[in-house]
Amino acid sequence: MEIIYQSTRNAQERATASEAILKGLASDGGLFVPTQIPAFTVPFAEMAKMDYRQVAYEVMKLFLTDFTEEELKHCIASAYDEKFDTGEIAPLREADGAHYLELFHGATIAFKDMALSILPHLLTTAAKKNNVNEEIVILTATSGDTGKAALAGFADVPGTSIIVFYPKDGVSPIQEKQMVTQRGANTTVVGIRGNFDDAQNGVKAMFNNRELAEAMKAKGFRFSSANSINIGRLVPQIVYYVYAYTRLLAAGTLRDGELLNVVVPTGNFGNILAAYYAKCAGLPIGKLICASNDNKVLYDFFQTGTYDRKREFILTTSPSMDILISSNLERLIYKIAGDDADKNAELMRALAEEGVYHITPQMREELADFCGGYATTEQTAATIRNLYEKTGYIIDTHTAVAASVYNTYRQKSGDNAVTVIASTASPYKFTRSVMTAIDTKYDSMGDFELVDELSRLSGTKVPQAIEDIRSAEVLHKTVCAKDKMQETVEKILGL
């Protein structure tokens, strides 16, 4: 069965999987979604005997139907290799009654590696399939992790270049150092004086600028996206929820068909949307618990049915979740509107023009499987400290938001179903916040002193990604105003 993709804002704009990956964003500003979500065909008990690459193929072949078996297996093998520091790729760690799905064992120690290790291979394969001769310019906004993972994935990939915008004062010191020291002749990193939403809005505006597209075409360039708005980012994320379920099945922790709860620390909504797609495809998931930080726009949405971005933007210790416009939520809105592109387009217009939209009571009923929660910065720190003192396991700030929300959910609901918490980043990426949560005495230490102390406390080896930046030279020093992003891109590309 061939799966076709269409825009969430225009039912007439359709694309194959490879075309949707190449475009990134639909021409009307909508996101590409499958016209139907395929059902898993291989029994979970059988997948429980497979390794990560084999599970990835069984899942991804259902969604990326215009890729041949040879093409898809080559992309998977190229992505999930020695770049990951464990053969399991995404191991599970049990601690204090929950199973932490460690998604940070890739080259940049964050969950974005899970999809951004394979996206360059999907994209270059898609370009060949569609006879694209222009250089593909990956244009991306990051709240911290996507940027480095995309840079690492696309560095020196023939036929591509990558430009990453990030909020200059809105990422952790380690995140920034990872990006600005990135090597690769085709890589550019730009800090903006603004927040992540400003960066994301600027990138979307460039994607929707027809004059810019024509100017680029004349010079032999075309845009694509590495953000989670690209369906080539979303499909690989479905894999690790299936993998987690089958590992728990193999261990006897779950019975085949038993419901699994999933808790995801959520910013742009792509990671939890992948779990929702897995559920729609037949994975036995019970509750999808959406965890927010102090920027609780999603929590308020699930509580009220109103999405309202008109609020103070708060910088927290979980910066990858400091987002007020969760782009991937649009894919869910489209689905609960009955795949109604016109209704979705109307709501997205309201968000853009008025900063708020309200879903109907019928749409709210479709959200019954979702549960929203949020954790303050203080609660996040307390969760890190308590889990460490109780078990010796150390988690990062984003994972701690999810763990805090899960603890509250379990106390209030009495729901003791087997639960997976998406552990989205290594604690080494947020050492100061993590270590001072454990004990304020650590605040007087330098960043790399903290790295070594974290290694001692946790009994884990310092990741290579951190060792690499201890003395790395800063190669990217450009900073621009939020309204000068297009001008900066034009200069980089020589337009």
Closest residue by Cα to residue 151 from 125, 124, 119, 127: 119
Contact by Cβ (8 Å): 324, 295: yes
Residue positions annotated with a catalytic role: 112
Q: How far, in whole angstroms, is CA 300 from its chain's centroid?
A: 21
**Which residues lie closer than 8 Å to 353 by C-beta, 6 or more apart?**
none
Residue 102: strand pairing partners: 423
One-letter amino acid at 109 equals I
Burial class (CB in 10 A: 0-12, 13-18, 19+), 154: buried
C-alpha 20/C-alpha 37 separation (Å) is 15
Indicate the Cα dihedral angle 202, 205, 207, 211, nearest 10°. -120
C-alpha 376/C-alpha 294 separation (Å) is 5
Indicate the Cα dihedral angle 224, 168, 264, 250, nearest 10°. 70
Contact by Cβ (8 Å): 491, 208: no
Joined together, the tokens standing for residue 210 give 């027809």
Closest residue by Cα to residue 156 from 178, 126, 117, 187: 187
**Which residues lie closer than 8 Å to 317 by C-beta, 6 or more apart?**
377, 380, 381, 397, 430, 433, 437
